[in-house]
Amino acid sequence: MKWNNKDWFWLTAGIIYACGIAFIWKEQLMTAISYVSTFVSIVLAGVAMYFSVISMIHATHNGH
C-alpha cells in the first residue's frame, strides 16, 4: 500500500486530535479506560473458566 500526502495528513491529524481529547478530558478518559479494562478482565476470566470446564469434560469422557 502506497501512502499519499493526504494519508499522512489524516493520520497526523487523527493522532493530534486523539492527544488533544486525551489531554482535555484526561479524567473521563481514564475512567472509561478503567471500566473497559475491568470488563475485559471479567470476560477473560469467564473464557478461562469455560475452557477449564470444557477441558475437564473432555478428560472425563476420555477416561483420563
Identify the residue with better confidence: 3 or 47: 47
Residue 47 has pLDDT above 90, yes or no: yes
* pLDDT confidence of residue 46: 97
Dihedral angle computed from the Cα positions of residues 9, 25, 36 and 8, in that order, rounded to the nearest 10 degrees: 0
Confidence of residue 1 (pLDDT cuts 50, 70, 90): low
Answer yes or no: is pLDDT of 35 > 70. yes
pTM for this model (two decimals): 0.57
CA distance 36 to 53: 26
Find the mean pLDDT for residues 33-55: 96
DSSP code, position 1: -
